Amino acid sequence: MTIIRIKVYSGDITKVKCQAIVNAANTSLMGGGGVDGAIHRAGGSKILEECRKIKASQGGCKVGHAVITTSGNLDAEKVIHTVGPVWSGKGDEKELLRRCYKSIFKLAVVNGITEIAIPNISTGIYKFPKDIAAEIAICEAKGFIKCNKTFHQIIFVCFDRENYRIYKEILGDID
């Protein structure tokens, strides 16, 4: 029996060694600020080349969806790019964020990925409330691993202390 773990890590997602890392991308897939910019800078031109091909073939990536590319110079095999929703509090942002996680996990399964590192999607410049985003992320991760016994590890990588504390509290894993 495989042990499935959910971990919380505080730090830079571009330094995490695992099969795949997730990029909180924008719809153009051409890089940007925050996690997206950091992944593109650290991964190098190969990621951007593949993102350009995806953009040319399907016009980018829609909110709530995900695409997969090489990892370039990163210590991961693949990068799964997902586009989270911008928070307004008036629409279907929660459902769109849930779709991001479902899309991430679906691509992981299709590509034989059994360990993945995921940042705090939409909680930076997209202003999604950190506590709500963490609840959604953890709920979707737990639901996914219940149905996928071959999956080994999900690492939530928190860049800031507030997200780290929230994830630890929700998981009951207080330092």
pLDDT one-digit tens code per residue, 18-27: 999 999 999 9
Confidence band for 149, pLDDT divided at 50, 70 and 90: confident
56 contacts 29 by C-beta, under 8 angstroms: no
Q: Where are the domains of the chain?
A: 5-171
121 contacts 22 by C-beta, under 8 angstroms: yes
**Could you list the active site residues?**
36
Class level of CATH domain 5-171: alpha beta
Query: What count of other Cβ atoms lies within 10 Å of the Cβ of residue 53?
Result: 12
Structure-block tokens of residue 39: 């992944």
pTM: 0.95
Sign of CA dihedral 30, 83, 113, 137: positive
Q: How far apart are CA 17 and CA 39, in angstroms?
A: 13
pLDDT digits (tens, 9 = 90+) for 58-112: 999 999 999 999 999 999 999 999 999 999 988 899 999 999 999 999 999 999 9
| Virtual torsion, Cα 18, 74, 43, 35, nearest 10 deg | 50
